[in-house]
Structure 1
Amino acid sequence: MAGLSSPTVALSPHEITPGRPMALQVHDAIRRAILTLALKPGEALSEKELALRLGVSRTPVREALIKLSDEGLVDVFPQRGTLVAPIRIAEVMEAQFVREALETAVVRRAAEQADGHLAPTLAGNIEAQASAAHAGERDAFLRLDEAFHRSLSEAVALPRAWKTIQNVKGQLDRVRYLSLPEAGQLATLTGEHADIAEAIRLRDPDLAAERMKHHLQAVFGTVRKLMREQPALFN
């Protein structure tokens, strides 16, 4: 596999575009920078500096930081200011519990009920994942990974299930991102997605749920490894 590309430079005015609510875009930009560790645990966050970097006023930045605090991705201290939160193991495990419970139920329903449009959607996504994995494009791969899982909820008319997962998995996503540079990791994830898609195509709910569970529980090994190698990131 080609050498992994560096993360996109975080937080520039180019990330803000017309047509979407400003506060939502600012939240998404800062959240993405935290999840990809362009903004690292313990790093101080200044409303003024973030506003300047994104080319916006301080109001949407303030709103974004409040929401990110609710998601557990930033900590607000009255005397110390706002800091990027550490990766809290208890929150990672809780997020994993919620995600596994919801996604195994979703994939069961997909295997039972999904129409003929889902299989080609998943196949096209997996093909794109394989290309991103071969090129070592982490950020592109993550977007495709998110789209793969989101498409399962949408295919069975459960979009709020995916929204719930999104709301709890910020801490989990930082662990996932840290694991991506490992040799062969992107290809492994692509293969696991292909296995899930095959179980759906076979209309085997038990197999689909088993493969989803295996796919999601791989994060436990990742957490143990990263805690040994980069303990300063964790709490």
Structure 2
Amino acid sequence: MAVDTLNPTQPVNQQIYRILRRDIVHCLIPPGTPLSEKEVSVRFDVSRQPVREAFIKLAENGLIQIRPQRGSYVNKISIRQVSNGCFVRQAIECAVARRAASLINDDWLWQLEQNLSQQRSAIDRQQQNDFFTLDDDFHQKMALIADCQLAWDTVENIKAAIDRVRYMSLDHVSPPEMLLNQHFEIFNALEQRDEARVEEAMRRHLHEISESILLIRKENSEWFSEE
């Protein structure tokens, strides 16, 4: 098994968590797949302790289930968790968008423009993973503009199940081109400092995941749980 190289300047457990989270969200590790502390420790050439800590974080986010004496397994996508996560995310990010409209300056507008340009490039190059990352970066910047990193940290901690559906929907249900257009609607409202308009644009954008889950679940029923 090839060894994945980690950054020695960053906490090992957090890096392992982020990589495994990405692999699960990107559908590289299907539901029901067993995860072995030993195999993961070999993959990253580390002791089992940081792997165990990463597993605990994955379990807290609903991505895996740790069964004492029986091992750890990747969970199915919980419909309930996605629904609750969408509700909480919309409440937070709509408030963030409104506040961002009142605080945004020319430097932040330039940074958002750069992000949107990069999204355009990722779409043109058909780099779905890059677009996925840039999409998150766009939303994180909104929280920074609103001077509330805690808002994004909270969203990040509750959106793992949402991200799995987001990723599965990118190729046909919620194509990047459509999402980019929605991001531009948010940007244009921010540029006008229109608090009501940017909040509504964000609400429409985030509602997309609630709509897409119905079709994604129908197409991939074996990946989902009603719990």
CA distance in 2, matches of 1:61, 1:32: 15
Query: Do residues 23 (structure 1) and 2 (structure 2) align?
Result: no
Matches within 5 A, 1:160-199: 160-182=150-172, 185-199=175-189
Stretch of structure 1 that moved more, 105-114 or 174-183 = 174-183
Please, what TM-score do these two structures have when normalized by structure 1? 0.92
Matches within 5 A, 1:1-235: 13-182=3-172, 185-235=175-225
Please, what TM-score do these two structures have when normalized by structure 2? 0.95
CA distance in 1, matches of 2:78, 2:5: 28
User: Residue by residue, what CA displacement relative to the aligned partner does 1:169-208 show, whole Å, maximum 9, x if unpaired?
Assistant: 0000000000111187011111111110110001111110
Please give the secondary structure, in 2, of the residue aligned with 1:56: coil
Please give the secondary structure, in 2, of the residue aligned with 1:218: helix
Q: 1:185 to 1:109 in 2, by over 3 A?
A: same
Task: In structure 2, give the amino acid aligned to 1:229.
Answer: E
CA drift of 1:233 comes to 0.3
User: Residue by residue, what CA displacement relative to the aligned partner does 1:93-146 show, whole Å, maximum 9, x if unpaired?
Assistant: 110011000000000011112222111111110010011011111111111111
CA distance in 2, matches of 1:26, 1:140: 20
CA distance in 1, matches of 2:33, 2:149: 33
Please say if residues 15 and 29 of structure 1, whose CA atoms lie closer than 8 Å, have aligned partners that are also in contact: no
Q: 1:176 to 1:15 in 2, by over 3 A?
A: farther
Aligned residue pairs total 225
The answer for unaligned runs of 5 or more in structure 2 is: none
CA distance in 1, matches of 2:52, 2:2: 17
Could you tell me the percent identity over the aligned residues?
Answer: 36
Task: In structure 2, give the amino acid aligned to 1:81.
Answer: G
CA drift of 1:221 comes to 2.0
CA distance in 2, matches of 1:151, 1:144: 10
Following TM superposition, where does structure 1 have runs of at least 4 consecutive aligned residues deviating by more than 6 angstroms? none
Please say if residues 12 and 55 of structure 1, whose CA atoms lie closer than 8 Å, have aligned partners that are also in contact: no
Cα RMSD for the two superposed structures: 1.5
Please say if residues 22 and 60 of structure 1, whose CA atoms lie closer than 8 Å, have aligned partners that are also in contact: yes
Stretch of structure 1 that moved more, 49-58 or 169-178 = 49-58
Task: In structure 2, give the amino acid aligned to 1:215.
Answer: H
Please say if residues 66 and 72 of structure 2, whose CA atoms lie closer than 8 Å, have aligned partners that are also in contact: yes
Stretch of structure 1 that moved more, 177-186 or 69-78 = 177-186
Q: 1:210 to 1:183 in 2, by over 3 A?
A: closer
